[in-house]
Amino acid sequence: MSNSEVIVALPAYNEEKYIASIVSKIAHYADRVVVLDDGSLNGTAWEAISAGAEIIYHDINKGYGSAIQGI
């Protein structure tokens, strides 16, 4: 038996409308969901946290490549 943990990491930018639904769906398949909020200007981080995700937050938008590296 493995002691592995399944972690899903999602970069996100201004995804307030959809992120909670995505996190909720993914949570059924993962032990942890981590959202990298890449400087969103709306409630993306709050919605992700409310849905049960952990957050890594950039103060400013650094782009997809930096978001992936920040996870």
- DSSP string across 42-65: SSHHHHHHHTT-EEEEESS---HH
Q: Which of 32, 38, 31, 30 is nearest to 56 (CA)?
A: 38
Cβ atoms < 10 Å from Cβ of 37: 29
Residue 63 main-chain phi, psi, to 5 deg = 95, 165
How do residues 47-62 score in pLDDT, each as one tens digit?
999 999 999 998 888 7
Average model confidence (pLDDT) for the chain?
90
Whether the predicted pLDDT of 25 surpasses 80: yes
The reported pLDDT for the residue numbered 63 is 76
Structure tokens at 50: 């409310």
Give pTM, 2 decimals. Answer: 0.84
Q: What mean pLDDT is predicted for residues 16-42?
A: 96
The reported pLDDT for the residue numbered 69 is 67
Asked whether 41 and 18 are in contact (CB, 8 A), the reply is no
